[in-house]
Amino acid sequence: MPHSTYLPEKMGTAVVAPDGAFEAGSFQEFTVTYTAGFFGIDDTGSLKIVHRFASDMGRPQFTEPTAANYTTVEASNGAVLHVEYDMKRNIRPWDKTLYIKVVRGFLKEGDQIIVRFGDRRQGGPGIRLQTFCEDTFEFRVLVDAIAVYNYVELPVQPTIAIVPGKPVRWKAIVPTLQKAGAPFRLCIKGEDAWGNPSNQCDQRFTLHCKQPVDGLPDTITFTPGQFSREVSGLRVNTASDLVIKLRHEDGGLACTSNPLRIEETPAHLQLWGDLHGQSEETIGTNSARQFYEFARDKAFLDICVHQGNDFQITSEFWAELNRLSAEFNADGRFTVFPGWEWSGNTGLGGDRNVLHMREGRQIHRSSHALVDDLSDLETDANTSDQLFEALKDEDCVVFAHIGGRYADITISHDERIERSIEVHSAWGTFEWLIHDAFTHGYRVGILSNSDGHKGRPGASHPGASKFGAYGGLSCLLAASHDRHGAMDALRARHHYGTTGCRSILSTRVDFANPAALFDKDPNLGDATSTPATSAMMGDILRSDDDTVTFSIDVHATSAIERIDIRNGLDTVEIFRPYTADQLGSRIRVLWEGSEYRGRGRETVWDGFAELTGNRFEKLAPINRYNIDKRFDQIADNRVEWTALSTGGFGGFDAWLGDPTAGTLKIDTALVRQEINIKDIGLDDLVFENGGIERRIRVFRLPDENPTHACRVQRQIKLHGERDNPLYVRVVQEDGHYIWSSPTYIFR
């Protein structure tokens, strides 16, 4: 136990009023009443009311009674209290702390401390609840009754339930690749304003598809209490790309599914997964069982892996995770690996993720920081090099991760088992990690996952916290839907990553003369090769050709803004599916980048844009997941916002009254610029401000871009003195990225 266990039954009681269930993200008022126990609280003793690190409940404030989150604290006997709120004043994961110290007087048995979260007595709106659901949201109370700063947790804690609101958007999910004539399913759900699957759905939809889909019903109906609907046994008998549209009964479009590609003989399966997330047993929300249930039944994933911080995983919880992975793993339906996050300090290697092929393997913790049982201390791996040594004979894979700590692959990397790197998660976007790999000659694939802490693997909205991005997804190109197929795809780097969209991406390299295709990285030794005239993403080949043909095939979930075609650190071409003469009155303003690599990477972009000699006809924000952040049109020529970036980007599109007239003024703390509207064209205008690609970009788009799918083929000249990692980054207009894993070619 992290706190004292001395006589908790004599430390008092606490209750919350009202109790019951409350809508996620809503404004409420709660009174937590602590009644002192036998010991009371002595002079200079204190009380803590703590919440989880993952919670994004409004931050209590004590000075503005009419503003949101106003909180008051008083003692029933008139004792003078000192009150502070600190984001990290208690032991993880219960970091967020309302600290109440008795500074004059004392409490005896029966005296009370009354805390009003969101005190409305002077006209305030209340406190905003956390934006994600939790069956038992605790106002956890700890007491230092004897004034020794050693706290005792109360044996019974006040709790409420946080539940979803009404649906404001709809999602329709189908596979992205299917064999002609094979059955598949359509999964539909509604999400509330904060991205929680809603069980308050009461609607009827009509279903439409341009191609014939056997078994597709004309209508589907949701009734209250249903989180989702599933239509199974659908079939398409001819090769094609298709989407399914849901329309409201009045004919309005509710949503469009992700694209589905039907092929006569697919070369592989496309399995969608979130390989990285946590539950309440470490630093997340809801139980590990609920974690897997959400991934399977509400995010409709093919693959999922629980990845708790190792220094919080007790031996008992590791055994439970192994039981759960064995229970939930189901060939052909839902693939689960036992796994854990090695969470070493940055200077010792930084975060890594471990996926084991089978249960019952030893966990090698980076430390026992929050595990009191030291009986297996000798199994620890305190550095990433020690981790790689401990795992060298294991049937597992490792990938590098950027979280609070970041993986420093420049000081430690083992290509025998660390086959991939994670370039995106709910923490942000980290392309610099793949750049580190290229600089050091590593041959790694690209993954994207959520590292979700809010109990929503596979559909990880960032909410209102410092998690500045929607959680990513990885698509594994596998031979079979089971552990063997998924593990083989990971080892071969046959996968691509997205920032959460389920878009179709294929890359291929063709050779004029047969190349040597290796079964594994020849740098590891004992590699064999076979002649090949083409290769897919992730492959490693030796070729005598001076140039190769690089083919890109993408069907996105939104219009395609651009495709960056890259050879390692070099951008060979920026392909856009439109030309300069197709540009219209729409301009795009983007803020992006991060402060630096570590925890304080958040970059604040609060500011405004103002037109002179022109007007905004229409505005549309991009990647505005935190709806607490402002995006307000103040006048026909002015828009104001609050925003941050953590490596990815946000911004807005603006349709102008006149395509070329006047000037645009952008004003933020980091970038202030005036731009002639006529100078905004196809190419980016870039305004840098240090950090890691911390900048604002402005460019022009067509008024409407119909291109959701395209195929591009280019001749790429190979460098002779180094690897040629050929890959692409696709940028969708809705703000999503898609990265292919590189195909590695050396001469």
Which pLDDT tens digit goes with each residue over 424-481?
999 999 999 999 999 999 999 999 999 999 999 999 998 886 677 899 999 999 999 9
Q: Is residue 2 part of a domain?
A: no
Same domain, 279 and 395: yes
Closest CA to 196 of 133, 109, 267: 133
Q: Rounded to an integer, what distance in angstroms lies between the CA atom of residue 556 and that of residue 711?
A: 12
**Same domain flag for 58 and 158:** yes
Name the phi and psi angles at 485, rounded to 5. Answer: -65, -45
Q: Looking at the domain assignment, is residue 386 inside a domain? A: yes
Q: What band does 353 get if pLDDT is binned at 50, 70 and 90? A: very high
Same domain, 34 and 136: yes
Residue 77 lies in a domain: yes
Non-local CB neighbours of 148 within 8 Å, separated by 6+ positions: none
At 467 the pLDDT is: 72
Q: Is the pLDDT of residue 572 over 80?
A: yes
Is the domain of 135 the same as that of 33? yes
pLDDT higher than threshold 70 for residue 605: yes
Query: At 354, is the secondary structure helix, strand, or coil?
Result: strand
Number of domains in the chain: 5
Say yes or no to pLDDT of 711 above 80. Answer: yes
CB 368 within 8 A of CB 374: yes
Kindly state whether residues 487 and 555 are assigned to the same domain. no
Predicted local distance difference test score (pLDDT) of residue 466 = 66
Half-sphere CA count of 554, side-chain side, radius 13 A? 34
Distances (CA, A) of 585 to 488, 582, 634, 638, 684: 48, 10, 20, 17, 16
Q: What is the CATH number of the domain that holds 426?
A: 3.20.20.140
Mean pLDDT of 609-634: 95
Residues 550 and 519 in one domain: yes
Is 706 contained in some domain?
A: no
In a shared domain, residues 85 and 102: yes
Average pLDDT over residues 537-557: 98
498-545 per-position pLDDT tens digit: 999 999 999 999 999 999 999 999 988 889 999 999 999 999 999 999
Q: What three-state secondary structure class fits 616?
A: strand
For residues 284 and 223, membership in a common domain is answered with no
Confidence check: pLDDT of 646 > 70: yes
Segment holding 314, helix H or strand E: none
Specify whether the CB–CB gap between 450 and 471 falls below 8 A: yes
Domain boundary among 163, 183, 209: 163
Q: What is the pLDDT of residue 464?
A: 81
Region of 131 on the Ramachandran plot (φ > 0 left; ψ -120 to 50 alpha; else beta): alpha
CA of 506: how far to CAs of 176, 431, 539, 711, 723, in Å? Answer: 12, 20, 13, 10, 21
Do the Cβ atoms of 39 and 62 come closer than 8 Å? no
CATH of residue 248: 2.60.40.1930
Lowest model confidence (mean pLDDT) among 127-136, 263-272, 590-599, 686-695: 590-599
Query: What is the longest distance spanned by two Cα atoms in the chain?
Result: 88
Tally the C-alpha atoms within 13 A of residue 186's C-alpha that lie toward its C-beta. Answer: 29
The rounded distance, in Å, linking the Cα atoms of 374 and 143 is: 27
Q: What is the pLDDT of residues 107-119, one digit of tens each?
A: 999 999 999 999 9
Whole-number Å distance between alpha carbons of 727 and 420: 14
What is the Cα 355 distance to its own chain's centre?
A: 19
**169-173 sheet: strands from edge to edge:** 169-173, 184-191, 228-234
Which residue, 266, 287, 312, sits at the end of a domain?
266
Ranking 128-142, 291-305, 588-602 by mean pLDDT, the lowest is 588-602
* Residue 189 predicted with pLDDT over 70: yes
The residue among 472, 475, 516, 511 whose CA lies nearest residue 493 is 475
pLDDT surpasses 90 at 175: yes
Q: Mean pLDDT of all residues in the chain?
A: 96
Assess whether 254 and 284 both reside in one domain. no
Give just the sign of the alpha carbon dihedral 289, 292, 293, 299: positive
How many CA atoms lie within 13 Å of 146's alpha carbon, on the beta-carbon side? 11
Percent of the chain with pLDDT over 70: 100
> Residue 747 and residue 437: Cα distance in Å, rounded?
19
What was the pLDDT predicted at 620? 97
The DSSP 8-state label assigned to residue 662 in this structure reads: S
* Residue 602, pLDDT score: 86
397, two tokens: 């894979």
Does 124 lie in the same domain as 57?
A: yes
Quick check: is 336 in a domain? Answer: yes
Last residue within a domain, chosen from 249, 266, 283: 266
Domain assignment of residue 85, yes or no:
yes
Q: Which residue has the higher pLDDT, 228 or 467?
A: 228
Q: Is residue 117 part of a domain?
A: yes
What is the distance between the alpha carbons of residues 440 and 332, in angstroms, rounded to a whole number? 38
Is a pLDDT exceeding 80 seen at residue 671? Answer: yes
Q: Strand 540-542 vs strand 529-536: parallel, antiparallel, or unpaired?
A: unpaired
Q: Is residue 1 pLDDT above 70, yes or no?
A: no
Domain identity same for 198 and 106 = no
Beta pairing class for 46-51 and 96-104: antiparallel
Is 3 within a domain? no
What letter does residue 602 receive in the DSSP assignment?
Answer: -
Amino acid at 459: A
Q: Which domain holds residue 47?
A: 8-163
Strand order in the sheet with 152-153: 80-86, 96-104, 46-51, 140-144, 152-153
SS (H, E, C) 238-294: CCEEECCEEEECCCCEEEECCCEEEECCCCCEEEEEECCECCCCCCCCCCHHHHHHH
Tens digit of pLDDT for each residue in 329-341? 999 999 999 999 9
**What integer is the mean pLDDT of 653-672?**
97
The verdict on whether omega for the bond into residue 93 sits within 30 degrees of 0, i.e. cis, is yes
Which CATH number belongs to the domain containing residue 556 in this structure?
Answer: 2.60.40.10
Q: Per-residue pLDDT averaged across 15-36, rounded?
A: 98
Q: Are residues 433 and 311 in the same domain?
A: yes
Place of tokens 């022109």: 614
Q: Which letter, b or e, does each residue of 167-178 get, where b requires 16 or more Cβ atoms within 10 Å of its Cβ?
A: beebbbbbbbbb
* b/e sequence 532-557, b meaning 16+ C-beta within 10 Å: bebbbbbbbbebebeebebebebbbb
- In this predicted structure, what is the pLDDT of residue 2? 76
Angle between helices 315-328 and 288-297 (to 10 degrees): 20
